[in-house]
Structure 1
Amino acid sequence: MHKHFPDPERRLADLICNAAPDFTEAEMSNAARHFADLIGVAFAASNEPSVGTVAGLCQDASGTVASARIWGTDRRLALPDAGLVNAYAAHWHDFDDDETDITMAHLTVTAMTAAAVVGDSRPGISGAAVLQAYLVGTEVATFIGRLIIPRHYLSGWHSSATLGAFAACAAAGRLLGLDVDGMRNALGMVASFAAGIRSNFGSQTKPLQVGQAVAKGIFAAQCAAAGLQSAAGSLLGSTGYVAMQGGDLTRVGALLAAFGEPYGFSAGGMIIKAYPCCTAPHSAIWGVLKLATQHRIYAGDVDGIICNIDPGVFDILIYDRPETPGQAKFSLPFTLAAAAVFGRLGVEEFTDATLRDPLVRHVMERVSVVHDPDLPRGPSGISVSSRVALIHRDGRRFEVYCPAIPGSIGNPLSDAALLAKFASCAAGSMDADQAKRLFGLLLSTAARQDFSELADELVPSPPGAIVGAVHPL
């Protein structure tokens, strides 16, 4: 029997440390799928120069400093630095999962990276414990998100970085064994660290903000474990973080009572991405690909693309004429045109060469956008549904309504599709057989008695090396 804490911050801390509702088998299995996806997208960026730059600015761990590996290598860094580099890589392509219904935030890249880093730092932490810490971390972000979203996001804050700092702190603190007072102190500290702005979308600072969220979340948990304190009320008090973000403190009690009942992770807003770009145009990208395939429309046949999207999306997709691959990830004309031209939209489409492609530029000029305030919205205040029309050069018009993003609960990716994504992302680090084996091991994370042994598997063997059995899909 756990104590009842009338103080909401201590009650939240107790939920994180001790009293979180039980996790269902389905939640644990789904958590492992999201972990596998995270590792895959991190591998996809392992050879990007800026990932090497960030890693190069971090010193190797030495002596008795708690450390974890950069995924895919044997190099060990202090925990905050390992969190920074791994999260930066995992968010670099904007291919990691996203929660669009409540938080408008990429949650796995913060909560799971923090959990995995701590799990790699010491033997004896089970895979199940790491996944549970991840689920609790996402629930903390969802809890705070329900209090401050949509105002927080619409005001220009990058919620993946802000809410993500709390998610990382909760996940790390749970695995580090913080007690209630320690966790309350950690949350108060990270309230001072949580930052990130949407004006940096399309630049290398976007993934850097996410990496810093993980680093600061872990650091706050470590500081609390070492005995440092924060002021009571720094998160949920009248002058705390939630109040400063315009949050409704009168809802705190009810939301704490509903913590994990069910977990927000399972509420339907978590999306495993099918395309490596901002989530906002995904339903429209799907619509373009569907219409082009269904009606055999080739790029040279496209005389126009008309896309109805939520008015709030215009402040997210801010580059009508992108000049870099990073900006292209936040461009509705580019993503729709590239999908129409190539019949797909993967990592290989976001290049300087594609930006200069004459046919892509031609189709981009024929993309028109309609503000549609009637598309269905969730608590986040921004709809990710869309309506798409392709205009054939012979005058025919083909239309489709796109209510659900690929990878969402309404249009889920199968295990086979997720494996294909994982193998494609990891192709620069391992062969197809190795990728299939590692994907299977990641899906069975909950069965691991020692998570650090699973982390050993993230260092690829030479191609053709003899490896163990593959987890059945």
Structure 2
Amino acid sequence: METKRDSKTEMVTKALVQHLSNTRYEELPREAIEEAKRSLLNWLGVAIGAAGHPSMDIVLRLARMVGGKEQVTVLGRGIKTDLLFAALLNGMSSHIYDFDDTLLETVLHPSAPIYPAILSYAEHRGLTGRDVLFAFVLGCEVAARTALCLYPSHYWRGWHITGTAGTIGAAAAVAKLQGLDEERYSYALGIAATEPTGLREMFGSMTKPLHPGKAAMNGLMAALLAGWGFTSSAQALEAKRGFARVLADDPKLHLIHEGWGESWEIMKNSYKPFASGIVTHPAIDGAIRLRNLHGIQPNRIERIELEVHPLVVELTGKIDPQTGLEGKFSVYHCTAVALLDGKAGVKQFTDERVKDEQVVSLRKKIRVKVERKLQEDQVLIRVTLKDGAVIEEFVEHAIGSIYVPMTNRQLEEKFIDVTADVLSSEKQQRLIDLVWRFDQLEELHSFFALCH
């Protein structure tokens, strides 16, 4: 039975649009703007770093075939394409390494679908850095609240929540930049709501990064169409056959708009120190700790046992990955390379590394057990050596979580590491400096000129 709070008569879309329309930049806490900068630096680095991936070449081939105008920048490529394909490509590249940010409560990656849509529109319209950051905080808020409304049934059904909730967030952000009236703002959300994208079946393939890219593209298109008067339902989120009720078993619609402005979801954003699925990070963290503390040699290991949260097996249970992308969704591979290399960066998830004989041999010694009492960012890792000795490590909170957050300096080091094959050291430092004062930028041409 539906609760009164979630009744079909509640005007959720209208309430959200009113909040978005009435929120001013000056009302945001300074901390939210600073977190938006951290999100931008992290997102920008992984987007530029993965811009040369073969999947990008395939989508660029399509963009050229359909003849898109040279309007806005494709990060890391030194070329331009039309607004929609740029949003698609920049959203894709930022998720290829699976190294982008995460709101852990729903496993939503907020920057990958939202920043590409905002930056495409901002570059085209000549907006400011302050405009971009303001729109991102609001877009992140909408995407995060939408995800909370849908979670967990939506995710367990098999939807990729970054693609679905991210589309709504991207549309909300661009509509704010356009200054749409409330009627057209609701149309933007309605158009976006009819375009959910992303199935979890695609994890480990080129299609997974396509999800946030398509979300960015769809959200941008929704806002542009609405701005020209393209109509949609005014109750797209809450209607009986609307977004939330179709995509989730038990949508908590009140979470989309209640308590607006009391806190900001961007403040919960977390950043990955490792280039793999977020739920593998506790195991990686624990394996690196054991390696550093005990100097474990692989040939001395008899077996490795992991006790993990159920979501780890659900999302990253690939026992025998065959490609680098599949390796990102294998807690077995992640643990093995962490023990062998003491890291889990981009180079640990190449096709060659996944097929390395030593890695494969160590993966076969790993056993994973679900322990429902554990939290998502916890793990117990136990290594039994051939001489019978047993050493173990319990990770209470993995590095990169909101409890053990990455520092600004660590984010800078990550940016430098992931962009090293694309940008000169001079460009790297100039971009870092620009991001930290992004709210002061009156034009973005100099920023985009450095992004390749």
TM-score range, shorter chain: over 0.9
SS class of match (1:391): strand
The answer to whether structure 1 residue 119 and structure 2 residue 112 are counterparts is: no
Runs of at least 4 residues off by over 3 Å = 59-63, 246-249, 251-255
CA distance in 2, matches of 1:96, 1:14: 30
Q: Which amino acid aligns with 2:57?
A: G
Q: CA deviation at 1:255?
A: 4.8
Identity %: 27
Deviation at 1:202, TM superposition (A): 0.2
CA 18–59 in structure 1, closer or farther in 2 if over 3 Å, else same: farther
Q: 1:405 to 1:179 in 2, by over 3 A?
A: farther
Corresponding residue to 2:420 among 413, 427, 449 = 427
2:50 corresponds to which letter in structure 1? A
Amino acid at match of 1:433: E
TM-score of the superposed pair, with normalisation by structure 1: 0.89
* Matched-pair contact (CA < 8 Å) for 1:61–1:78: no
TM-score (norm 2): 0.93
Query: Does 1:389 pair with 2:408?
Result: no
The superposition leaves residues 423-464 of structure 1 with CA deviations (integer Å, 9 ceiling, x where unpaired) of 1111111233331221121122111122344223324xxxxx
Structure 1 residue ranges without an equivalent (≥5): 1-5, 377-382, 460-473
- Partners of 1:179 and 1:277 in 2: how far apart? 41
- State the alpha-carbon separation in 2 of the partners of residues 23 and 61 from structure 1: 41
Match of 2:7 in 1: none
- Match of 1:93? 97
Mean CA deviation greater in 69-78 or 327-336: 69-78
Residue 25 of structure 1 and its aligned partner are, at CA, apart by 1.3
Q: Give 1:27's match in structure 2, choosing from 7, 26, 32.
A: 32
Which position in structure 2 is the counterpart of 1:295?
A: 294
Q: Which has the higher helix share?
A: 2
Give the match for residue 359 of structure 1: 358
CA distance in 2, matches of 1:61, 1:215: 15
Map 1:320-335; keep pairs closer than 5 Å: 320-335=319-334
1:350 and 2:361 aligned: no
1:48 Cα deviation from its structure 2 partner: 1.4
Q: Any conservation in 2 of the 1:60–1:75 contact (CA below 8 Å)? A: no
Whether contact under 8 Å (2:202, 2:208) holds in the other structure is yes
Question: Which segment drifts farther, 286-295 or 255-264?
Answer: 255-264
Distance 1:121 1:374, change over 3 A: same
- Mapped contact 1:115–1:134 kept (Cα < 8 A): yes
Between the aligned partners of 1:241 and 1:189, the Cα distance in structure 2 is 10
**Equivalent in the alignment of 1:69:** 73
Distance 1:201 1:62 in 2: 30
SS in 2 for 1:405: coil
- Tell me, yes or no, if the aligned pair for 1:20 and 1:259 is still in contact at 8 Å: no
Q: 1:57 aligns to what SS in structure 2?
A: helix
What is the CA deviation profile of residues 182-208 of structure 1, one whole-angstrom value per residue up to 9, with x for unaligned ones? 110011111111121000000000011
Q: Which residue of 2 aligns with 1:277?
A: 276
1:148 & 1:163 partners in 2: Cα distance?
9
- Per mean C-alpha deviation after superposition, the further-off stretch among 87-96 and 240-249 is 240-249
Taking the aligned partners of 2:308 and 2:315, their CA distance within structure 1 comes to: 12
Q: Is the 8 A contact 1:130 1:451 kept in 2?
A: no
Work out the CA distance in 2 between the residues paired with 1:85 and 1:255: 29
Q: Please tell me the root mean square deviation across aligned C-alpha atoms, in Å.
A: 2.1
| CA–CA separation in structure 2 for the residues paired with 1:255 and 1:193 | 18
Distance 2:369 2:443 in 1: 52
Give the SS at the match of 1:271.
Answer: coil
Q: 1:13 to 1:360 in 2, by over 3 A?
A: same
Alpha-carbon distance in structure 2 between the residues aligned to 1:318 and 1:168: 31
For residues 383-433 of structure 1, give each alpha carbon's deviation from its aligned partner in whole angstroms, at most 9, with x where no partner exists: 232211222332222222212232222111122221111111111112333
Code of the residue aligned with 1:262 in structure 2: it is S
Query: 1:278-308: CA deviations, max 9, x gaps?
Result: 1111011000001110122122332222111
**Partner Cα distance (2:343, 2:311) in 1:** 26
